[in-house]
Structure 1
Amino acid sequence: MTPCTKLTDLPAFGELRALAAALQSTAIEDLLRDQHERATSYCREAAGLHLDFSKQLLDAAALAALIALAEQARLPARARALLAGDEVNNTEARPALHSLLRAPAAPPGLEHAFAAVSDTRARMRDWAERLNQGRHSGYAGQAITDVVNIGIGGSDLGPRLVSGALKAFHDNIACHYVANVDPADLQDTLLELDPATTLFIVCSKSFRTEETLSNALAARDWMLNAGAAPADLDKHFLAITTNLEAAAEFGISRDNCLPMWDWVGGRYSVWSAVGLSCAIAIGWEHFEAFLGGAAAMDAHFATAPVADNLPMLMSLLEVWNCNLLGAGNHVVLPYDQGLARLPDFLQQLTMESNGKRVAADGTALDYDTGPVLWGSAGTMGQHSFHQLLHQGTRPCPADFILPLTTHTGMARQHRRLVANCLAQSRALLVGRSEEAARTSLLARGLDEAEAARLAPHLVMPGNRPHSVISFEAVTPHSLGALIALYEHRTFCSGQLWGINPFDQWGVELGKEISSSILARMDDDAPRPGLDAATERLLQAWRRAQR
């Protein structure tokens, strides 16, 4: 696939600049009032998700220009190329086939790769059913009750999100997650577990990832110290890896290894064997529904025109807010405790994908890509960072994520949660004028002078752009659709910015330097190559070990 045109070279970009400048003094509330159909015409649905972008700072002319921008960037053709297995990752010369992992059938030309996916799905199903039915025992003859996934980055964030979000669908096995090389992460996880009934899944494509391997070795020692023999390790360890030799050296047989493929990036891998812990946690039937939700979003992405295409519209809104309205960040606000990990997951998905300084052809960019993504589950954020959203000076475009029902059975409490979400959305829209603040203070019993003094502190400008993504409930299907929606939005934004969203060279330098520092930690004598500040801290560490 040919490299994308840079954003600023697209003909519609100049028009969008003029439209953005003209809209800066426009009130979104006025647009909603004056455009009677806006509350419905600025909404789209797909795969059970409803996107309401009526509270974004754009009018019909800006929306039309954004759609033209997408057409000029050939987003529909690029979406089809992604799904067809074209070489979209130009710096590593390979496709990005995460959509194949949830495809119901082989797309033309991808039959060989799909056969490998189908075989892996069958093996995942076997492990999920065997464990949940109590048919796999540990070294002491007891059935496995707990699974610990050891990974980092995409081998942790995706599975951790899915397992946490779908607790209402959990089967018989409890799943836990360890990622940090800090020994406290593993130690705290193992404190309440029994080695005889615990199974570990080690997720590392190379089986050399420093954090993952360190934790896996410590887990193996924990198992051996509890009484397991080396020959018993196969009863307690699985690996998701391509390095079968290193796994065998560790003590994990080939039969206990499931594959990872080069054409799937870690942050897109939850649909693969990396998601085995999820399949175990929620059972295979529900995991298939999770894949099905994503596949439904893939089908929509491939066929819907730009004006109705949820991932493309969300990408256009991201570029509009970031590059034309000056917002350098994006906040995600899930109003569901099960989705509390969604901002963490999306941070990696979007910032590792699109945090780039050069175009796909290697030339430097003179505009921003990959806004800083952050967020927290509602309603906790309302009592912390929402203050900045309402009264801060920097724009923070937002996505509210709102399931309309709850699995808890506590409808009255969920009613309050929904009310809080809608209230925050409206508060960001309308704000509060100084006159309204003064009237409110007078109603509280303050005199005129004190009300006038305090009123400026209660003013909220409003007019904060945001979208609301709602759906009936957090289910395997809706969660799959939601994650796939953000995956495709991330891809489209990368195409509009003219970058490759599938490499992550920025991750590599820190790994290289860490390896060189580790190699020197036993050497007391300073050597050339480190800056003075790092050398001083290294010497402080050495002294602390004595």
Structure 2
Amino acid sequence: MKKLTEFDSWKSLQTHFEQIRDVHMRDLFDQEAGGKKDGRFKKFSSQMDDILLDFSKNRINDETFKLLCDLAREAGVEGWRDQMFAGEPINISEFRPVLHTALRNRTNTPIYVDGENVMPKVNRVLAQMRYFTERVRGGHLRGYSGHLITDVVNIGIGGSDLGPHVVCDSMKPYAQRGMNAHFVSNIDPTHLTEILKFVKPESTLFIVSSKTFTTQETMLNAQAARDWFVDLTANDKAVARHFVAVTTNKQAALEFGILEENMFEFWDWVGGRYSLWSAIGLPIALYLGMDRFEEMLDGAHAMDMHFKETPIEKNIPIIL
């Protein structure tokens, strides 16, 4: 595979940089606006629904932008994008598809991996998430002693923690009253211990997020949470009402004490950094509601379509 620095457009950009390196931003606005204050803004901005990208305040001119677009084309960005949407294995280190877009494919058009349309699986898990979250939030699925679930503790690491954590923190104004979300990712036991000080076993739901159910940091924290729960309740069987799993390892989750109906699947073609759109987003759905979660899917799908269909010169993800 050709290196980026070997492309002709990259070499042209290096030459161009030397030509404009001393140009001041103020001069660029004066020269390119043609006397109009918003001329440069109109030229170097793009909008998709309510999202506006203003990149006019970068030290670029028409030639810079043209060369950057040439570089994207020469590097095959459009081709790689199309292969991604087609489900081809563009993850070259693991030889896997990169299909987080399928998780938010709101048109439900077929998307194939190894000849199989994955949309029925995606829709099945979304339906399972809705059924479960509505039962919890509606008070139909309660703790072992009949208490409402008021706290959700997500136990995971990396993509099984960061995405849901950021969304829940940023969307607090939309959270259901009386529902709290907590996240444990650090192998240092202090992290879990501090959270457990503020929750009660009879009203707490634990989500163990691990594809293999063998991730060391996650499983140490999950076992510590289970021990805390059993110590305080003296009820080993009650684990089944207070622990759920996002995993592909059904047997290990069963041995932990989790009911099969409370296991949520996701797949190898979901990369960790994009996994919040899968069942890894279960804490989001519990905290904000499944309707809000699906609104997020709608927005992500709209941006996916913009990325897929918009020319490079106005394509917000490619420009960024």
TM-score by length of 2: 0.94
Match of 2:32 in 1: 35
- Which residue identity lines up with residue 171 of structure 1 in the other structure? Q
Larger radius of gyration: 1
- Residue number among 73, 87, 107 corresponding to 1:71 in the alignment: 73
Please state if 1:6 is matched with 2:11.
no
Question: How far 1:100 sits from its partner (Å)?
Answer: 0.5
Cα distance, 1:107–1:84 mapped onto 2, change above 3 Å: farther
SS of the equivalent of 2:239 reads helix
Q: Is the 8 A contact 1:201 1:238 kept in 2?
A: yes
- Which residue identity lines up with residue 81 of structure 1 in the other structure? Q
Measured in 2, the distance between the counterparts of 1:143 and 1:112 equals 39
- Which residue identity lines up with residue 237 of structure 1 in the other structure? F
Measured in 2, the distance between the counterparts of 1:217 and 1:47 equals 46
1:102-144 superposed Cα distances (whole Å, 9 cap, x missing partner): 1113344426311101000001111211111111111212121
- Which residue identity lines up with residue 293 of structure 1 in the other structure? G
Match of 1:127 in 2: 132
- Which residue identity lines up with residue 226 of structure 1 in the other structure? L
- Which residue identity lines up with residue 317 of structure 2 in the other structure? P
SS of the equivalent of 1:226 reads helix
Measured in 2, the distance between the counterparts of 1:247 and 1:108 equals 31
- Residue number among 167, 176, 192 corresponding to 1:171 in the alignment: 176
Q: Is the 8 A contact 2:110 2:119 kept in 1?
A: no
Measured in 1, the distance between the counterparts of 2:302 and 2:184 equals 31
Please state if 1:186 is matched with 2:192.
yes
- Which residue identity lines up with residue 252 of structure 2 in the other structure? A
- Residue number among 7, 15, 18 corresponding to 2:15 in the alignment: 18
1:507-541 superposed Cα distances (whole Å, 9 cap, x missing partner): xxxxxxxxxxxxxxxxxxxxxxxxxxxxxxxxxxx
Q: Which moved more, 1:150-159 or 1:31-40?
A: 31-40
Measured in 1, the distance between the counterparts of 2:224 and 2:214 equals 14
- Which residue identity lines up with residue 308 of structure 2 in the other structure? A
Match of 1:113 in 2: 118
Match of 2:153 in 1: 148
Please state if 1:257 is matched with 2:239.
no
Question: How far 1:47 sits from its partner (Å)?
Answer: 4.0
Segments of structure 2 that go 5 or more residues without pairing to the other structure are: 34-38
Please state if 1:284 is matched with 2:290.
yes
Measured in 2, the distance between the counterparts of 1:35 and 1:258 equals 54
Match of 1:244 in 2: 250
Measured in 2, the distance between the counterparts of 1:294 and 1:228 equals 44
Question: How far 1:91 sits from its partner (Å)?
Answer: 2.3
Question: How far 1:205 sits from its partner (Å)?
Answer: 0.6
Q: Is the 8 A contact 1:47 1:300 kept in 2?
A: no
- Which residue identity lines up with residue 157 of structure 1 in the other structure? L
Match of 1:102 in 2: 104
Match of 1:384 in 2: none
Measured in 1, the distance between the counterparts of 2:118 and 2:196 equals 37
Q: What's the % identity of the aligned pairs?
A: 40
Cα-Cα RMSD: 1.3
Measured in 2, the distance between the counterparts of 1:183 and 1:209 equals 16
Cα distance, 1:134–1:296 mapped onto 2, change above 3 Å: same
Measured in 1, the distance between the counterparts of 2:303 and 2:236 equals 45
Measured in 2, the distance between the counterparts of 1:133 and 1:16 equals 58
Q: How many residues align?
A: 311
Cα distance, 1:292–1:108 mapped onto 2, change above 3 Å: same
Match of 2:59 in 1: 57
SS of the equivalent of 2:57 reads coil
Please state if 1:310 is matched with 2:307.
no
- Which residue identity lines up with residue 240 of structure 1 in the other structure? V
1:325-356 superposed Cα distances (whole Å, 9 cap, x missing partner): xxxxxxxxxxxxxxxxxxxxxxxxxxxxxxxx
Measured in 1, the distance between the counterparts of 2:211 and 2:110 equals 27
Question: How far 1:214 sits from its partner (Å)?
Answer: 0.7
Question: How far 1:71 sits from its partner (Å)?
Answer: 1.3
Cα distance, 1:235–1:228 mapped onto 2, change above 3 Å: farther
